[in-house]
Amino acid sequence: MILKNLIKEEKKFFVYGVAFCSHFTQAITIILLSLYGQSLGANNVEVGLLFTSFSLAALISAPLWGILSDYMGRRKPVILSMAGMVLSCFLMILVKNIYLLIGVLFLCGIFFMGNRPIINTMIVEFSSERAGREVGFLNIAREFAWIAGCLLAGLIGEINLIYNFYTGLLIAIIGLFLSFFLKESEKKINNKSKKILPSLNFGSFVVNFRYLIHSTLFFLCVAIIISSISGYGVFVLLPIYLAQLHISKSMIGIIYAVESSIDIILFPLMGKFCDQSVKGSVFLIILGFIASAFKLFLYTICYIPIHFIIAQFFAAISWTAFVVGAVTFTGKVSPYEKRGEAMGIVESSSYLGGLAGPIITSLFSKIWDFRTTIQIFIIFPVLSALISLLKLKLKTPLSTEEDKDFIRKGIN
């Protein structure tokens, strides 16, 4: 039924197709990358640096991708991002040194995450009346991709981990091909008078900071940064910890795939709830952080695969609730002419946490063991939930004219 509706709505069909290929490529290349790094002789700190370089590039580039999409339209930046993914996978096949791989992961961070905020923006613009529902369906496509990527990564990894990069390269090429068929939003900004980057003056800085504060997106970003320190850090080193428990690569892939299987069920439910409730997006954001804390708690008492599979149920609640809530919240409170930029800023917040998370996790795991590190990290999503509860508000976006008046009053 979902597939039939997508085929009827051609413009959405290709958005979903590109999202699938992009997410599949990311899953199959990244999920066991920490183990591949170890095979090149890397220690935990160097593995942390590997993923930190990815997050640093994503942090720098995510807002720029959003600004670029507001200027050029959505289609061209997505094509550029998919072309970069093809190049990144090709280079991952070639390098055999951990420090060269760190450099390649920086390039991956620029392109792998470039299209995510843009595609989020496209689906919101194509379906403004049912944004929560469509965001849910978009992420179902991503979760199917993640399931396939995780399962194949585990199976192929049993043979040779480098073959995952070959598979990622093939899927990235397919995604690049599909991206040429993307359509622009009907509600397109008049870009003739816009510059590719906002002017770096006091007025533009005040406007950007003002709409972040007014919309409470600033507090959402702070909450995301705090929570992602623990979430991303644990994600990076969890495969190494599972391997130390003598869990096979194929079973590690299954554990990650289980979460995505549950995501497929939960995404439409979260989207429907978000559309039917006035404050549904805020509630889902808080629920996502609370579920993340409970997931970390369960990791501390897990020893065998079935235990981790049970914990992945709460990981699925955390991810689906947060993604639907954060995307719809950002779309509702951001002015249209800054929506792409806002999606990029929110996306980059997770990368800022991801920048610190792998390093902090690897250092903590050297002082204590990995299990104790997770116990300490439980406080991070709990703090994020409290910030969201106290600070997030659904407000009408400021218009461009209001921004201009504010600047004139401030300067005069």
Q: Is the per-residue pLDDT at 335 higher than 80?
A: no
Residue type, 241: Y
Dist. CA 130–CA 179, nearest whole Å: 24
Share above pLDDT 70 across residues of the chain, in percent, rounded to a whole number: 84
Which has more pLDDT, 338 or 381?
381
Give the chain's domains with CATH numbers. 14-182+200-411 (1.20.1250.20)
Q: Which pLDDT score, from 0 to 100, does residue 200 have?
A: 40
Dist. CA 302–CA 325, nearest whole Å: 29
Which has more pLDDT, 143 or 287?
287
Q: Which pLDDT score, from 0 to 100, does residue 71 have?
A: 81
Q: Which pLDDT score, from 0 to 100, does residue 173 have?
A: 98
Q: Is the per-residue pLDDT at 49 higher than 70?
A: yes
Over the stretch 172-194, which tens digit does the pLDDT of each residue have?
999 999 999 998 865 554 444 44
Which has more pLDDT, 127 or 14?
14
CB 31 within 8 A of CB 150: yes
Q: Which pLDDT score, from 0 to 100, does residue 9 have?
A: 64
Sign of the four-CA dihedral 107, 108, 110, 115: positive
Q: Which pLDDT score, from 0 to 100, does residue 289 have?
A: 97
Q: What's the average model confidence in pLDDT over 312-316?
A: 95
Over the stretch 193-202, which tens digit does the pLDDT of each residue have?
444 444 444 3
Sorted by sequence, the CB contacts under 8 Å of residue 236 that are 6+ apart come out as 34, 47, 48, 51, 357, 358, 361
Element (H, E) at 112: helix 98-112
Residue 121 has, within 13 A of its CA and on its CB side, a CA count of: 38
Q: Is the per-residue pLDDT at 159 higher than 60?
A: yes
Q: Which pLDDT score, from 0 to 100, does residue 346 have?
A: 85
Q: Which pLDDT score, from 0 to 100, does residue 407 have?
A: 39
Q: Is the per-residue pLDDT at 11 higher than 80?
A: no
What is this structure's pTM?
0.80
Q: Which pLDDT score, from 0 to 100, does residue 215 have?
A: 64
Residue 128's pLDDT band (cuts 50, 70, 90): low
Based on C-alpha coordinates, what's the Rg of the chain? 20
Dist. CA 47–CA 33, nearest whole Å: 9
Q: Which pLDDT score, from 0 to 100, does residue 204 have?
A: 42
Q: What's the average model confidence in pLDDT over 40-47?
A: 91
Residue 340's pLDDT band (cuts 50, 70, 90): confident
Q: Which pLDDT score, from 0 to 100, does residue 201 have?
A: 42
Q: Is the per-residue pLDDT at 82 higher than 90?
A: yes
Over the stretch 380-390, which tens digit does the pLDDT of each residue have?
999 999 999 99
Residue 406's pLDDT band (cuts 50, 70, 90): very low
Dist. CA 218–CA 134, nearest whole Å: 25
Q: Which pLDDT score, from 0 to 100, does residue 168 have?
A: 97
Dist. CA 206–CA 202, nearest whole Å: 6
Sorted by sequence, the CB contacts under 8 Å of residue 122 that are 6+ apart come out as 15, 74, 182, 185
How many other C-beta atoms lie within 10 A of the C-beta of residue 14? 20
Nearest 5°: CA angle at 259, between 365 and 325? 95
Q: Which of 64-73, 97-106, 279-288, 323-332 has the lowest mean pLDDT?
A: 64-73
Share above pLDDT 90 across residues of the chain, in percent, rounded to a whole number: 53
Q: Which pLDDT score, from 0 to 100, does residue 208 have?
A: 57
Q: Is the per-residue pLDDT at 3 higher than 60?
A: no
Dist. CA 14–CA 248, nearest whole Å: 36
Over the stretch 287-301, which tens digit does the pLDDT of each residue have?
999 999 999 999 999
